[in-house]
Amino acid sequence: MYRRQLVKRIVKELEKGKTIDAVKNDLRAEGWSLKDIADASYYSTYPEKLRHFSVTRFLDTEVHLYITIVLIGISIFFIALFIIGETGNDNNIYLTSPDSLVSEFRYGPELALANPTFFQKTKKELSDAKADFIEVDLSQMKVRYFEEGLQKLEVPVLTKGRPGSWWETPAGLYKISSKEDTHFSKIGRVNMPWSMNFQGNFYIHGWPYYPDGREVSSSYSGGCVRLSNESAKALFDLAKVGTPILVHEKDFFADNFVYEFVKPHISAEHYLVADLRNNQVFIRTENQRVPIASITKLLTALVVTEYLNLDKEIEIPKAAIVYTSKQRLVAGDKVTAYQLLFPLLLESSNEAAETLARSIGKDYFVRMMNDKAKALGMTNSVFVDPTGAGEGNVSTVDDLFMLAKYITNNRSFIWEISSGRLLTSAYGNIEWDNLQNMNDFAEDESFRGGKVGKTTAAKESGLYVMDKDFGNGARPIVIIVLRSDDRKSDALTILKYSMENFVASSTSISNY
């Protein structure tokens, strides 16, 4: 049902001089669904069409089953005709909600199959289902458009986000959430022609230019997939809002490093040790879903860096002053989103997590956490808050492996913050005094980064990424322990076991 009061609200806010993006952000923060916002946005532009849908409100009431089925069938037929007619018009902005898209192919967890072959299997299933989709191959620097499972277009990627930077292009399975003939980036202060948004602040678009008409000259983008204007226009004309986008690169696929096999007693109920480059598992338990405590904050940090403007100052709300390991924040003070990452990842600050989430609406933020998890193939993970305090924040060792792999390949600065090694960046110097690094192994030179947690439901938990040499050069090794009585001791025990029982094959060549 289209909500007239929401349409009137949008019209009123636009008359006050607000941009449509600002109005949508306000509505999201207030808890309105993406579908309601998208529908209301459309009818605020075409209010005369709103009255045509009174039948939708009529069908919300209880009527005879037979009549309901007949009316629904008739409505679907005429709505289909309406949509076909509307697609011929060239509107400047194309918006809809993924909730309103209907397809025989199911998106989300059903596609995030057994990892690490998530991307190969997802592409095969999309092709087998004869779906329309976009593949962004960041290794070959190609964008391919598939129509009914068959490739119809291939164009070169001119630039992408710099690998290892804050703006590295994120791998994963997404959908086009909106299209604009020209999108103005408030962060880069540039116009981006033929823009297709697929994740937070990330777009596929043509060559950007400044308001005075000058083209940008950077060799790397701010994380977006940049095409030539001609290529972007060709893709823009083919793709629709809701079209799946599969973004991948070689770092997500196994390399050719091989191990030869040469069970310790620990308190942790669930654990895993594995190589993040070739996906070799040295030791593990069954893949059971359990509470993970503050390991949750790794996903919180991902959402912050991919959806929030890190330069933006956030006022600390009173509601964010909650129980935490070390209280630092004061209600009413203003701190940038970037600076809040440090207490979040070093001191496991619940106050920082709450402040960041509430800056865009806590419920909306948590939805973004779950959406990001699904995009990474974390099929057995659920998140209920940004702190990890709730026992409903659950995951598995396999899912956390995928999270660690994504951060290592795409958001390595999160490890740099959690290890205490990042003191300055493009966003400035760290401004906190005497921050305490509560992550285990912070003094170990091989410790790349990680996160620890502790609650009654989760007991002690830890995720650590360490550079270890199995005989042919250092390899990035992830150690995960869940529901442990002594996470650090358990992590050392299973790491020692792995290194004593596995050696690099004589045929292996490390490309790490």
List, as residue ranges, the binding site. Answer: 451
205 is catalytic: yes
Q: Which of 175, 270, 297, 405 is catalytic?
A: 297
Enter the DSSP assignment of 106. P
Q: Which of 205, 248, 270, 372 is catalytic?
A: 205
Q: Using CA atoms, how far apart are residues 224 and 310, in angstroms rounded to an integer?
A: 17
Provide CB contacts within 8 A for 217, sequence distance 6+.
Answer: none
CA distance 218 to 70: 57
Contacts of 78 by beta carbon, 8 Å cutoff, 6+ apart: none
Contacts of 344 (CB under 8 A, 6+ apart): 297, 300, 301, 304, 352, 353, 356
Q: Which residues pair with 271 in a beta bridge?
A: 481
Annotated binding residues for substrate? 451
* DSSP structure string for 331-363: TT-EEEHHHHHHHHHHS--HHHHHHHHHTS-HH
Q: Is 12 a catalytic residue?
A: no
- Active site annotation includes 294: yes
Known active-site residue 508: no
Contact 283, 265 (CB under 8 A): no
User: DSSP assignment of 378-434, as one string?
Assistant: -TT-B-S-SSS-STT-EE-HHHHHHHHHHHHHH-THHHHHHHT---EETTEE---SS
The structure tokens listed for 503 are 């050696």
String of DSSP letters for 310-331:
TT-EEE--GGG----SS----T
Q: Are 467 and 224 in contact (CB under 8 A)?
A: no
Q: Which of 177, 178, 231, 294 is catalytic?
A: 294
Q: Are strands 202-205 and 225-226 parallel, antiparallel or unpaired?
A: parallel
Cα atoms in the 13 Å half-sphere on the side-chain side of 272: 21
Catalytic residue, candidates 44, 195, 231, 348? 348
CA distance from start to end of the chain: 54
Known catalytic residue at 52? no
CB 409 within 8 A of CB 376: no
CB 179 within 8 A of CB 203: no
Phi, psi (deg, nearest 5) at residue 250: -60, -25
Q: Is the dihedral of CA 117, 133, 407, 328 positive or negative?
A: negative
Question: So which residues are the catalytic ones?
Answer: 205, 224, 294, 297, 348
